[in-house]
A and B are shown apart, each in its own frame.
Chain A
Amino acid sequence: GENVEQHPSTLSVQEGDSAVIKCTYSDSASNYFPWYKQELGKGPQLIIDIRSNVGEKKDQRIAVTLNKTAKHFSLHITETQPEDSAVYFCAALNDYKLSFGAGTTVTVRA
């Protein structure tokens, strides 16, 4: 099955700085890569996704890049704000099944 690794496990940034989270996947057949944000006591919320035929996608302060050759994808958050503090999960879809990374706890310092 698919194996997704996510780094770093924790990330502390100053408000206004950028945050970058990286994920790698093992199966080249994976074709869909969503990112989820999970706040304490809540379910994961889809924030952005990218399909395997696209290299980059941006939505306001959030962007995702995909390198199919290297089998890795990254989440970029610019101009971080306190409300960006949460746990972020990457995932990869293979054979209609989503496999998740272990998560990155992002803390934005005021």
Chain B
Amino acid sequence: EAGVAQSPRYKIIEKRQSVAFWCNPISGHATLYWYQQILGQGPKLLIQFQNNGVVDDSQLPKDRFSAERLKGVDSTLKIQPAKLEDSAVYLCASSPWTGGTVSEQYFGPGTRLTVT
């Protein structure tokens, strides 16, 4: 079974520029998550989708971050404009969860963003 795919793996941009990350979840997984992992810390949830609807985006800085999951499969996360403090690894995860009993989350390799 193919895992969660993410691209690009690395990105370097200057502050105030924009950037987009792409995620393809495990086939058949209804729920998709975007996490931000700052160096030396655990992942922090930014946004959670179930199919193409948003379940939780309470920790997404909506003035600069946006995300979408059209057709309930692939997802993109965008930052515009980027700030220095956005330097982090952006992780995508997916889960077969559709509500009720909890289920496992599986992570992709991440995109390492450096903002200079």
A interacts with B: yes
* Closest chain B residue to A44, Cβ basis: B107
Shortest C-beta distance, A86 to chain B (Å), equals: 14
Count chain A residues whose beta carbon lies closer than 8 angstroms to a beta carbon of B.
24
* Given the contacts A43-B4, A43-B110, A96-B56, A103 and B105 also touching, CB distance less than 8 Å: no
Shortest Cβ-Cβ A-B pairs, 10 listed: A100-B42, A43-B107, A32-B102, A44-B107, A43-B109, A43-B110, A89-B42, A43-B108, A100-B43, A101-B42
* Given the contacts A103-B40, A103-B42, A96 and B105 also touching, CB distance less than 8 Å: no
The answer to the question of B55 belonging to the interface, with a C-beta cut-off of 8 Å to chain A, is yes
* Given the contacts A43-B4, A102-B42, A103-B41, A97 and B48 also touching, CB distance less than 8 Å: yes
Q: How far is the CA of A4 from the CA of B45 in the complex (A)?
A: 14
Q: Which residues of B contact A (CB under 8 A)?
A: 4, 40-45, 48, 55-56, 91, 93, 97, 102, 104-110
Q: Which of A32, A43, A49, A100 has the most chain B CB atoms closer than 10 A to its own CB?
A: A43
Q: Are A46 and B48 neighbours in the complex by a CB distance under 8 Å?
A: no
Q: How far is the CA of A41 from the CA of B107 in the complex (A)?
A: 13
* Given the contacts A43-B4, A43-B91, A96-B56, A102 and B41 also touching, CB distance less than 8 Å: yes
Q: Which residues of B contact A31 (CB under 8 A)?
A: 102
The answer to the question of A14 belonging to the interface, with a C-beta cut-off of 8 Å to chain B, is no
